[in-house]
Amino acid sequence: MKNIIYFFAAALSMLTVKAQDFQGVATYESKTSMEDMKKFSGNNKEITPEMQKMIEERLKPMFEKTFTLTFDRTASTYEEEEKLGAPGDQMAQGFKMMGSLFGGGGKHYKNVKAKTMLQEKDIFGKEFLVSDSLPSIKWVMGSESKKIGNYTCYKATAVVPVDKSNMMNYRPKKGAEEELKKKSEDEMKKTNFMDMVEMPTERTITAWYTPEIPVNQGPANYWGLPGLILEVSDDKTVLLCSKVVLNPKEKSEIKAPKKGEKVTQAEFAEIMAKKMQEMQEMGGGPGSGRRRFGG
- Tell me what the mean pLDDT of segment 176-201 comes to: 68
Number of domains in the chain: 1
- Tell me what the mean pLDDT of segment 202-225 comes to: 95
Q: What is the pLDDT of residue 220?
A: 92
Pick from 9-18, 154-163, 170-179 the range whose average pLDDT is largest. Answer: 154-163
pLDDT tens digits, one per residue of 176-187: 666 666 666 666
- Is residue 248 situated within a structural domain? yes
Q: What is the pLDDT of residue 50?
A: 76
End-to-end CA distance of the chain: give it in Å, rounded: 67
- Is residue 4 situated within a structural domain? no
pLDDT tens digits, one per residue of 237-294: 899 999 999 999 988 899 999 989 999 988 998 888 888 777 766 654 444 433 344 4
- Is residue 293 situated within a structural domain? no
- Is residue 7 situated within a structural domain? no
Asked if residue 12 has pLDDT above 60, the reply is no
Q: What is the pLDDT of residue 13?
A: 52
pLDDT above 70 covers what percent of the chain?
66
Q: What is the pLDDT of residue 177?
A: 65
- Tell me what the mean pLDDT of segment 193-213 comes to: 87
Q: Report the predicted TM-score, pTM, of the whole model to 2 decimal places.
A: 0.78
- Is residue 199 situated within a structural domain? yes
Q: What is the largest CA-CA distance in the chain?
A: 71
Secondary structure (DSSP) of the chain: -HHHHHHHHHHHHHHHHTSTT--EEEEEEEEE--HHHHHHHTT-TT--HHHHHHHHHHHHHHHEEEEEEEE-SSEEEEEEPP----TT-HHHHHHHHTGGGGT--S-EEEETTTTEEEEEEEETTEEEEEEEEPPP---EEEEEEEEETTEEEEEEEEEEE--TT-GGG-EEPTTHHHHHHH--HHHHHH--GGGGEE--SEEEEEEEEETTS-----STT---SSSEEEEEE-SSEEEEEEEEEES-SS---------SEEE-HHHHHHHHHHHHHHHHHTT--GGG--SPTT-
Q: What is the pLDDT of residue 136?
A: 92
Which is higher by pLDDT, 65 or 39?
65
| Closest to 113 measured CA to CA, from 191, 223, 197 | 223
Amino acid at residue number 241: C
pLDDT tens digits, one per residue of 113-157: 999 999 998 887 789 999 999 989 999 999 999 999 999 999 999
Mean pLDDT of the chain: 79
pLDDT-derived band of residue 207, with 50, 70 and 90 as boundaries? very high
Q: What is the pLDDT of residue 287?
A: 40
The range of the structural domain enclosing residue 182 comes to: 17-285
- Is residue 67 situated within a structural domain? yes
- Is residue 262 situated within a structural domain? yes
- Is residue 295 situated within a structural domain? no
Asked if residue 7 has pLDDT above 70, the reply is no
